[in-house]
Structure 1
């Protein structure tokens, strides 16, 4: 399955369809504009070595048809007019523009994404496909374009003084059975780990004062913190946590085993989008409260 984000737990029945990403020129010069001077503290993740030099691949595909799932906000979802939009949609369009390739996006049910790729109904999966789930299929993956770190949230008035290296006696709310619970139990034995059935209860424990902090998924927390449900109670503190074996597996684009050239071209394009500032613009567009 895609990454276990609360946003995905209530996926409605998906309808297969096809959207041609017309007008790649919509990715205009404003995407490469430098960050505003009013945003000095915004953290945008960087997964690429800025000193590395990468030549443009000699083999560039004329067309890339991406396979994705619907109702996967903020990555792929429909706007009030029913049009597909989202981070992955705009990222796919920007990748095609960088490569000079025509671009399309086909919506599929998640369970048939890999069979659809095998049957050449599309060229690349951009849907948070886990490498572990795809193990044994021999797929080619690009470099990660987004990782999903763990983060702490604490009462807003304690964010500046919270020390994640000094948790003795603190009550840390986690979701039972999650990677976050396993990590916290192993590495912070001096803290009191409180297990909750779901993320909302774990967050509310901090809001009510029943817990000193919540350790959970940074992405979903970045949307909860500015929401009415949070009511300004809390803020990020410390982190981000990307420890191997727990939170290090990121989101990447997958191509068929027989198509390594397309994966290489997409990896090159991802690096170029980062260097040109386009990745930063997309990240801030869909994740206004950075989870890094």
Structure 2
């Protein structure tokens, strides 16, 4: 199975900001910056450092949906991108995206199927009506918005700084890191961001994430900047040797890190888009989204 880290943001391709879009996992990133998501109140059992994001306005009233025009939903996904979507012990698809899809169908009370396809065939399968909606960690891009109906965003992939636990740093601002060294993976959106906004820091470029992490662990650099999700799993796994921790806040500027993830549908399918957006907000309001988020991401990424 392809490791999900290999498909993560830290391995994003880089293009010049002038005249062309940054590329993430082969998917162009958006162009407008945005603020970090508003934290939702945590359940009592949630670890204190886990912030549950919210992408829904509690003041917004969901439009009434005509479910007679949504008799069923045929979701398309892949099974090679944990923790978002992957094959379970019995071979059936599981993961955050799959859980969201099933919860949406339960909320809407419509029958639901989940079909597994290769990542590179998902859009083609949708185009030829082999399914109704793609839920496979699909990044929102200008091209995707132009060609398809897009649901509300249901997850961002923030960038984060990591430092050694014994490093005397308390903030991750350009001023706080002036004169400090920052490790990044060459040719990534994270490198571009540091180069643009942390001009007073010494940028240390590495060909792979493993080499950048090694440099941090061996004190060759002060900090490491990259994908918050991959960092979170590394920090809380055995591979890190409990060496490090997050520094400062999450960075979510979509000009560099994308607009987030959404469900993709064929152009003109307004009834399905409205139904899915209504159900997404209801899942958040009822706390179902928080439960599914914690199941997939038990360590903090924000």
State the number of aligned residues: 265
**8 Å contact from structure 2 (residues 140, 258) kept in 1:** no
- CA distance in 2 between counterparts of 1:7 and 1:290 reads 20
What residue is the counterpart of 1:43 in the other structure?
A: 51
CA distance in 2, matches of 1:80, 1:267: 31
* Corresponding residue of 2:124: 115
Alignment equivalent of 2:150, drawn from 120, 125, 141: 141
Structure 2 gaps, min length 5: 9-41
> Bigger CA drift: 100-109 or 124-133?
124-133
Q: CA deviation at 1:50?
A: 1.7
CA deviation after TM superposition for structure 1 residue 158, in Å: 3.6
Residues of 1 paired with 2:45 and 2:101: CA distance? 28
Distance in 1 between the 2:286 and 2:109 partners?
16
TM-score by length of 2: 0.82
How far off its partner does 1:137 sit?
5.5
Which deviations, in whole Å up to 9, do the C-alpha atoms of 1:17-67 show, x marking residues without a partner?
xxxxxxxxxxxxxxxxx7125634420111111222223313451210101
Distance in 1 (alpha carbons) for counterparts of 2:168 and 2:55: 26
- Three-state SS of the structure 1 residue aligned to 2:55 is coil
Specify the alignment match of 2:38 in structure 1: none
Aligned counterparts of 1:113 and 1:163: Cα–Cα separation in 2: 38
- Residue 205 of structure 1 is matched in structure 2 by 215
Partner of 1:23 in structure 2? none
Partner residue in 2 for 1:174: 184
Alpha-carbon deviations, 1:75-129, whole Å to 9, x = none? 1112233232101111100000011111111111122111111111100011122
Among 217, 221, 229, the residue aligned to 1:219: 229
RMSD of the alignment, in Å?
Answer: 2.1
1:25 match: none
Deviation, 1:159, is: 7.5
The 8 Å contact of residues 175 and 195 in structure 1, kept in 2 or not, is answered as yes
Aligned ranges for residues 78-97 of structure 1 at < 5 Å?
78-97=87-106
Worse overlay, 122-131 or 215-224: 122-131
Question: Per-residue displacement from partner, 1:141-188 (whole Å, max 9, x unpaired)?
Answer: 001100101000111234872443411110100010100000101101
Q: 2:66 aligns with which of 43, 50, 58?
A: 58
Cα offset for 1:5? 6.1
Please tell me whether residue 67 in structure 1 is matched to residue 66 in structure 2.
no
Relative to the length of structure 1, the TM-score reads 0.85
What residue number does 2:39 align with? none
Alignment match, 2:204: 194
